[in-house]
Amino acid sequence: MTLYVVRHGRTEYNEKHLFCGRTDVPLSDIGRSQLPSLAEAARGYNLDAIFSSPLRRAVETAEAVAAVTGLPVMTDDRLVERDFGTFEGQPFDTDEDRDARGNFAFRYPGGESNFDVAARVYPFLDWLRENYRDKTVMIVSHGFVCRIIRTWCLDMTDEEFYSLRHPNTGVLRYDV
């Protein structure tokens, strides 16, 4: 299976460096302007299927690719972003969230840990590989989920995991 893993286009929360997990914000103007290049690149991927997180920023991004490929967008709840609990809408990279950010088994208060995200994303990916074995699939999701998807596809040291940055509408390809 070949996977093209895409992080949704930019949102206002991204621009203001705020935690954006379950909050269902739309793409910003900049985010929408990023879609045509993504769609153009996707023409060359020979996609068989498009899966997306159900959050609108991901669906809007996926729909730009759907429009040029003629494929439907299939949403799956397991691709929704990590739940940041009480940190939703709070500024990023302060000392406050140091514990949840730096430790795999720490949950954001009222939210999820990295293990929680893996526990829903890995079964989705196992199912995907089972059902799209020799196919090419695009997944449109979010920053933390895209990172977990990468760990399913290949081994990462902790340093690689923490330092990975996936830009909005950036595409990572994996052959699994």
Partner 1 sequence: MKIYFTRHGETTRNAERRISGRVDVPLSELGRRQAEALAARIHAEGLKIDLIISSPMKRARDTADAAAAVTGAPVTVDARLIEQDYGEYEGVYMDEPRFSDFLENKRHFAYRYPGGESMLDVAARVFPFLDELIRTHADKTVLIVSHGGVSRLFNAYFCDMTNDGFYNYLPDNCELTLYETEAPRCCAL
Task: Catalytic residue, from 81, 112, 142, 166: name it.
Answer: 81
Q: How many chain residues bind partner 1 (CB under 8 A)?
A: 23
Strand partners, 7: 141
CB 5 within 8 A of CB 139: yes
Stretch touching partner 1 by CB under 8 A, among 3-11, 25-33, 50-58, 148-156? 148-156
User: Whose structure tokens read 């439907």?
Assistant: 72
Rounded Cα distance between 161 and 150, Å, is 9
* Element containing residue 162 per DSSP (H, E): helix 158-163
CB 154 within 8 A of CB 125: no
Task: Establish whether 81 is a catalytic residue.
Answer: yes
Q: Classify strands 73-75 and 49-52 as parallel, antiparallel or unpaired.
A: parallel
Among residues 45, 132, 152, 174, which is the contact residue for partner 1, using CB under 8 A? 152
Strand partners, 74: 51
17 vs 162 by CB, closer to partner 1: 162
- Quick one: tokens of 176? 């699994």
CB 61 within 8 A of CB 83: no
Site for partner 1 in 86-145 (CB under 8 A): 99, 102-107, 113-116, 118-119, 122-123
Task: Establish whether 63 is a catalytic residue.
Answer: no
Among residues 30, 156, 171, 172, which is the contact residue for partner 1, using CB under 8 A? 156
Among residues 95, 134, 155, 175, which is the contact residue for partner 1, using CB under 8 A? 155
Stretch touching partner 1 by CB under 8 A, among 51-59, 63-71, 135-143, 146-154? 146-154
Q: Catalytic residues, which ones?
A: 8, 81
User: Which chain residues interact with partner 1 by CB under 8 A?
Assistant: 99, 102-107, 113-116, 118-119, 122-123, 148, 151-152, 155-158, 161
